[in-house]
Amino acid sequence: MSQAISNPAVSPPGADKTILRAAAVQKFYRSGEETLSILRGVDLNVRTGEFIAIEGRSGSGKSTLLHILAGLDSPNGGTVQFNGVNIVAISDRNLAKIRNREFGFVFQFYHLLPELNVLENTMLSPMIEFSTLGFRARAADLRKRAADLLNQLGLGHRLKHRSSQLSGGERQRVAIARALMNDPKVLFADEPTGNLDFETGRQIMAVLEDLHRRQGQTIIMVTHDRSLALKADRVLILRNGKLERPGGASDTEKVPAPEED
Amino acid sequence: MYKLHLILKYLLKRRIAWVSLVAVTLCTLMVLVVISVMGGWLNMFKSSFRGLSGDIVVHSDGMAGFPYYERIIASLKKDSDIAAAIPSIETYGLLNFGRVATLPVKVMGIPIDEMGEVNRFPDSLYRQHVMLEDKLNDKTLAPEERKKLERILASPPSFDLLDEMTVPLAALPSDLPIEKIDPDQDQIPGTVKLPDTAPQDLRGRLRYDAVRKNLVFQGPMKVDWKDPLASLSADADYKRAVDTLFRESNTADLIDYSQLAKGRLTGMIAGTGVIGIHRNHNGEWEGRESWKTSTPVGLTVLDISGGGGVSVHDKVTRTYFIVDDSRTQVWQYDNNYVYVPLDRLQKDLGMNLQQVSDAAGNAINVPGRVTDIHIKVRARIDPNDEPALNRIADRVRSRVHEVMHGPHPPGGPTMYGPDPRVETWQETQRIWINAIENEKMLVVFLFGIISVVAIFLIFCIFYMIVVEKTRDIGIIKSVGATSAGVASIFLGYGLVIGVLGSGLGLLLSFLLVHNINEIHGWLGRRLGIVIWNPEVYLFDKIPNQMSFHDIVWIVPIAILASVLGALVPAIRAASVNPVESLRWE
């Protein structure tokens, strides 16, 4: 746990550049004649290496925003650009490719595949990326990387175990290893400690902080827990469908938010 | 990579999918077994039917037959594709067994020594083929005996008695002479002259009956027609006569059948069913030793004039001696037909070459007639090749027409109505073959419908798996799988189930079909279950060959059906919204 996560993305070239930009993102749900607006024109710029926490109350739409930023959901209006590409407008195939190679996800409920063991769950991204032959050609390297990641997360002895045999904290660490396996440009974390006890949650947060601080991993985390949000470089609050800076709370803003351009 | 990996994981871990696998296996097994048995049955029928007629047959439309058959045959033999052609007559008759039982029969007059040139009829003869082959299979058979049997087997079949059937005359009492018989007489041969020692009241009332190899009491007696033998045996006078005359002797030992019949009685071959020989449930012969075998019988036929006229006064009854039985394996033949020499039947029916006088007293030759000509095509032509056979049939038709309408001998008939029909063996037997083919298709269709259940089963199970795996699908999509990729997991899953299921089904059906007779026998012995009754299905063995042709269309259909069952669940899986599926634990 205490070991640094070896990530080649340490101080990536082009740090401090905008990697993800959302503009006027809208999301609403229609139910009969009623329209429920969740996001009412969200603007957000994320720089490479930045750790952003999006805070909000339950039902505020923060998870929806995260899913739209990650290309898992599509907005009703606005754009989301990743490295200059509007991922809202690209094909399902290309979007899947970006999710597979550029993004990593950590969910509140871990979401591991029960049929796969820890090592296989960790290698899910390359398994999807490569064909059977391509995977086999790289199998040794990929296994080593997956095993290294799991080892660094304290799960070196659990490689062959199934998710049902792991504790909640261990499962979440496997989910983090899976998210890091493809060396993501952006790591999305949706309430990563929401399903864990305090101590385990603290450990998971330590892992994320460590990733950010030591390897410069860009992280966008959604949480309703102010204390966790404070671990981030920048905290944004989703309120009434829009992102706001915490009013007058300078202690929550360790790094000045970049100007929205 | 992930697709194959997940398919294998799902296959091993999701045991509910094994139900689909079992369903596909059972359906493949069921359809393959049914189609193999039914198809084998059909093939046996076709083979047996073809074995009874020529590849092409010239049929008379009526029982009067057609003339100039010798000239037609001579013309046909000029065709390079025709190997042989033989005439035959088919008519109806009444067969009388020792005035004890009478059966309606179909009578076929054949030149038996030539029969083997056009079909496999000689192979169906018990004494002249089947029995000899069985004996030759005996490894302990003495070399001289083997040579003798091989010689008989190689010789053309005949209507004569075999040496095998000769019984020594050793025990015949000198005072029991056998009256000479006239083969053309309407009577049971072998009348016995009673010795003076015989009781007076029995005189004139006893005849030797070769039917029963015993004496027949010709007095007024009560006969139970359901079992005439029993009533004879129960008759006190009859018993007294037997005791008096033969005491403990076996009557069979007293009569030399060969002496009795050779050269004097005409031989007849009867279908096994006609003389009461049949297979029992275990496939064993029954009735081979029945009183109807090796017996003189009376055959009554009606003389039919060249113009087709019939008069009951023209009935002809001739005594034949049953020399053999024919088991063609086709019920219609084995239970209805008797076979007699062509020339004899021709004569009895008045269809032989006859000389008559016209009004001016001039002699006119009325040509002989037959009802059929059986034609065998050359070996290089496949008799199952219908188009090829039809082309030859067309040429036969032309030749028949040419002869029938060509110049005729003076005084002979110029026309006998329409030309005889020319049909290939498939056309001749079409009604039966079509019936069995339709039955086969119906059974396969019904079992096919049952197999559709498997598709629904796969659909339900896969749908259930997709619903259960909705969250996993969301995970896979969130990590970069496309909708098409997710769909292909489930389609591939269905494909693997189909391949494994149909493969297992194929293996099991192969084992089952190849051992079906052993399994059937075991069921019969142990549980008394008899599914294949030889009396009903005509063949004593269940067909146990699988057709490669059937396999190559059934197995792919099973696989396709499996993929089809997985299609809708796969589409549903592809359309899963990852956000929706991941929102809740």
The pLDDT profile of chain B, 585 residues, written as one tens digit per residue, is 678 888 888 888 878 888 888 988 988 898 888 888 888 888 887 777 777 778 999 998 888 888 889 999 999 999 999 999 999 999 999 988 755 678 899 999 999 989 888 888 888 888 888 888 888 888 888 888 888 888 888 888 888 755 444 333 333 333 433 333 333 333 333 434 444 454 454 444 444 444 334 444 444 444 444 554 455 456 565 555 545 444 433 333 333 343 343 445 678 899 988 888 776 656 566 766 554 555 567 788 887 765 656 666 677 877 777 878 888 877 778 888 999 999 989 988 888 888 777 777 777 777 888 999 999 999 888 888 889 999 999 999 999 998 888 777 665 655 556 788 999 988 887 887 888 888 888 888 888 788 788 788 888 888 888 888 888 888 888 888 888 888 998 899 889 999 999 999 999 999 999 998 888 888 888 888 777 776 667 666 788 888 888 888 889 988 998 898 889 889 988 888 888 887 655
Chain B residues in contact with A120 (beta carbon < 8 A): 5
Closest CA to B275 of B48, B99, B157, B103: B103
Q: Which residues of B touch A (CB under 8 A)?
A: 1-2, 4-6, 9-10, 13, 471-472, 474-485, 577-579, 582-583, 585
Interface of A with B in 124-143 (CB under 8 A): 124-132, 134-136
Distance from the Cα of B494 to chain A's closest Cα (Å) equals 18
> In the prediction, which pLDDT does B512 show?
93
The span from the CA of B365 to the CA of B345, in Å, is: 19
* Structure-token pair, residue A227: 């204390």
The span from the CA of B444 to the CA of B37, in Å, is: 11
Contact B475 A111 (CB under 8 A): yes
**B327, B334 Cβ separation under 8 angstroms:** yes
- Going by C-beta distance under 8 Å and a sequence separation of 6 or more, which residues neighbour residue A173? A150, A153, A154, A155, A204, A207
> In the prediction, which pLDDT does B63 show?
83
Residue located via tokens 């199934």: A162
pLDDT digits (tens, 9 = 90+) for A169-214: 888 889 888 988 888 899 999 888 877 778 778 888 888 888 888 8
**B267, B323 Cβ separation under 8 angstroms:** yes
**A163, A174 Cβ separation under 8 angstroms:** yes
Which residue(s) pair with A106 in the sheet?
A189
Alpha helices for chain A (secondary structure H): 62-69, 92-101, 118-122, 124-129, 132-152, 168-180, 198-215, 226-229
Nearest by CB to A125, which of B9, B480, B583?
B480
Long-range pairs of B74-80 with CB within 8 A, sequence gap ≥ 24:
B75/B399, B75/B402, B75/B403, B76/B373, B76/B375, B76/B396, B76/B399, B79/B392, B79/B395, B79/B396, B79/B399, B80/B378
> Edge-to-edge strand order for the sheet containing A85-86?
A34-47, A18-31, A77-82, A85-86
**How do the residues of chain B divide into helix, strand and coil, expressed in percent and rounded to 5?**
50, 20, 35
Contact A92 B2 (CB under 8 A): no
Contact A113 B476 (CB under 8 A): yes
**Measured CA distances, B169 to A180, B264, B290, B320, B540 (Å):** 108, 18, 22, 21, 38
* Structure-token pair, residue B419: 């030309």
> In the prediction, which pLDDT does B67 show?
87
The span from the CA of A4 to the CA of B8, in Å, is: 36
Q: List b or e across B192-204, with b for residues whose CB sees 16 or more CB atoms inside 10 angstroms.
A: bebeeebeeebee
Q: What is the DSSP string of B400-446?
A: HHHHHHS---TTS-S--SSPPEEEEHHHHTHHHHHHHHHHHHHHHHH
Which residue(s) pair with A40 in the sheet?
A26
Closest CA to A65 of A20, A97, A30, A98: A20
